[in-house]
Amino acid sequence: MNKQTTTNASQWNKFRHLFKQQEIPAKTTLLQEGQISRTMFFIDKGCLRTWVNNDGKEITTQFFFEGDIVSSIESFRTNQPSLYSIESLEPCILQTISQKDFQKIIENSPEVKKEMEDHLFRRLFQCQQLLYTFLKNNPQKRYEELIERHPHIVQRIPQHYIASYLGITSVSLSRIRNRK
């Protein structure tokens, strides 16, 4: 979800007083895997990632940048433990809102509620497409697709995070890069 591209940006402004600004350094954990999400983050500056633990190895599942809204939305909505952690990759400036206050907004703004439902559909769509790139392509093709579709990720994020995001080791990604 993206504040800027929102059809009703003014809707958000009505509730601006409910947000708190927060500055954090790089590598700060905002939500730990297994915990219940009680906060939602809007990124003003910097970038975040979500990751899962796999036998001590971190596997990155998503990247977020300026304008993105980040939360374990399933956990936030259903009060179930989050499947993943949320962490900053750079020093960040965030706008945060609590679950309670966000609930208030939802109740008072059908536009925002509608937007959340659409957001959910988009999330499902994105998740499906990501899954399909794993079913369809080998690591090399997945990397090429990433460069094509999300060049800003490749430019901005350290390679070993990208490697785990592609489901391969950093060694293998390094080989793929030097193959062409």
Q: Which residues bind DNA (CB under 7 A)?
A: 25-26, 91, 138-140, 158-160, 167-178
- Neighbour tally for 4: CB within 10 Å: 8
Can you tell me the distance from the alpha carbon of 108 to that of 104, in angstroms, rounded to the nearest whole number?
6
Look at residue 71 and give the partner it binds from DNA, its own copies, none, a contact being a CB closer than 5 to 8 Å depending on partner kind. Answer: none
Can you tell me the distance from the alpha carbon of 38 to that of 32, in angstroms, rounded to the nearest whole number?
11
Can you tell me the distance from the alpha carbon of 52 to that of 33, in angstroms, rounded to the nearest whole number?
7
For residue 31, give the nearest of 78, 67, 84, 73 by alpha carbon. Answer: 84
Contact residues: its own copies, CB under 8 A? 52, 54, 59, 61, 74, 77-78, 83, 117, 120-121, 123-125, 127-132, 134-136, 164-165, 167
Least distance from C-beta 174 to DNA, angstroms? Answer: 3
Least distance from C-beta 13 to its own copies, angstroms? Answer: 27
Q: Which is nearer to DNA, 60 or 72 (CB)?
A: 60
Look at residue 140 and give the partner it binds from its own copies, DNA, none, a contact being a CB closer than 5 to 8 Å depending on partner kind. Answer: DNA
Task: HSE, CB side, 13 Å, CA atoms: give it for residue 37.
Answer: 26
Look at residue 175 and give the partner it binds from its own copies, DNA, none, a contact being a CB closer than 5 to 8 Å depending on partner kind. Answer: DNA
